[in-house]
Amino acid sequence: MASSNPSLKIHELCRIAPPPSSPKSSFSLSFFDLLWLRFHPVERLFCFSVPHLKSSSFFDSIVPKLKRSLSLALQHFLPFAGNIVWPSDSDSVKPIVRYTPGDAVSLTIAVSDSDFSHFLDNSPRDASESRAFVPNLDSSDSSASVLSLQITLFPNSGFCIGITAHHACSDGKSSSMFIKAWAYLCRITEADAESESSSGLLPPELQPFLDREVILDPRGIASAYINGWTWSSSGLDPNDQTQKNRPSLKILSEVFPPKVDDSDRAIFDLRRGVLEKIKGRVLQKWESLDKVKEEITVESLALSKPQTLSTFVLTTAYVWVCFAKAMEKIAEQKTKKVLLGFVVDCRNRLEPPIPENYFGNCVMSQVTETLPENLTNEDGIVIAAKKVYGKIMKMQKENGVLDGAETLFSTFSYVKDEENRAICIGVAGSTRFGVYGVDFGWGRPEKVEITSVDRNITMAMAESKDGNGGVEVGLVLKKNVMEQFALLFRSEIESI
């Protein structure tokens, strides 16, 4: 069966279920989950270089191992095998994740004649090329799939695993734990796999904590998000027919489609030495920039000089500045504000803290903003770093991580309102997920890509592949913006 992409041939469409002994289960959705209820799914590609890989070896050996280990992994991560549904047999006003024996994950096996080396290249290339290797995720008013997978062979070169996950079921840390568990079960011998299956054990760091009742909601944030999705859906998507008495689970594809026309996709590397240079500049000028041309809160910029700055602060600040300068060079209309949106892991910020291996969403969105001229002037990197650092420090206060949580939908509306002329760049991924440590038995990935950054302007962060303490940043931008961004990314460090 041929796909719509002429370079891709569909070899097999199948469904992989957990072992038959897996019990019927249901899992509540916390307010952390409900924030993402109708957002676009998270799409990732893990690319493995296997020189001289023949089709016979791939289909006779690799695919069966991946299928078997996937089934074993799903028994530990049952929410991924189920569906998000509105329960009709209860008085619940919230959807749940339900696994019923017989539920399974959609898996596509495909073959591509595309140039694998070109695909692995981090240099700017047509953004649409990656779309052929990520699977779709089904959703409707009454039900939404949680996980969909595609494994694509590049004959004589390697293969890639495309993973599409519903954001309302897991955050990046949880989905990365699942991928590592799947890889672990694939890597061990068949005899060991039987043993692991019967004992139900994974290494402690890969055992998910599935009890979502540990997430407390005394402020009624979940209800605010349910109401937010019900009332704001038609405003976000004019084609959406959701009524206040007819809640829907359908992903708002009209709001979050892949934006790949006339766009390039690229990955940029910030080496450890460059990050140290940025940190030195920021700390050197920290106390001389307590005032900028805008109204600011004390916690945003008038901060005590820290001893050090995190890789996250340095990376996001540098990319934010390069993006603002690139947009300034090509802008047809002056932007009023430039926003940076990111999420923070709340596992150790809640009271009481919840387990590090908690499976689900436990991240909260944060947004900081500034005037574009504050980022494009000679000290833009310092201002950007102080804005991000200040936002993080504010969250250290009591209840800080949840401050403003109930009103996040107004932030979405603000960004969508073209009259505000605000441009927002988001952040996805983390250097802490260890994605380049994933090994299914054929070596570590040659490339990891968060493909879904093409649905909004988003920087994807991961640790550098070579383990040098640097950062990889993935982006999809309009070709004219990408050209400017690439030039600035290389040249800005020279002026620091």
- Report which residue type is found at 39: F
Tell me if the bond preceding 352 is cis, omega within 30° of 0: yes
d(CA 93, CA 90): 9
From 40, 76, 167, 264, the catalytic residue? 167
Nearest to 232 by CA among 245, 243, 219: 243
DSSP codes, 32-62: HHHTTTTSPPEEEEEEEE-TT--HHHIIIII
β pairing state of 105-112 and 147-154: parallel
From 126, 211, 269, 439, the catalytic residue? 439
- DSSP 8-state code for residue 76: H
Q: In this structure, are residues 123 and 266 in contact, taking their beta carbons and an 8 Å threshold?
A: yes
Query: Can 52 be counted among the known catalytic residues?
Result: no
Interhelix angle 190-199/63-76, nearest 10 degrees: 10
Locate tokens 């802008």: which residue? 331
What is the sign, positive or negative, of the torsion defined by CA atoms of 62, 68, 74, 76?
negative
Helix, strand or coil for residue 483?
helix
Query: Can 167 be counted among the known catalytic residues?
Result: yes
Helix, strand or coil for residue 15?
strand
Cross-strand pairs, 96 = 28, 85
Locate tokens 């403003």: which residue? 404
- Report which residue type is found at 183: A
d(CA 296, CA 291): 8
d(CA 405, CA 31): 10
Give the tokens for residue 112. Answer: 């591509």
What is the sign, positive or negative, of the torsion defined by CA atoms of 414, 417, 421, 425?
positive
Q: In this structure, are residues 217 and 30 in contact, taking their beta carbons and an 8 Å threshold?
A: yes
Q: In what order do the strands lie in the sheet with 363-370?
A: 125-126, 263-270, 471-478, 458-463, 422-429, 337-345, 363-370
Question: Could you give the residue numbers annotated as active site?
Answer: 167, 439
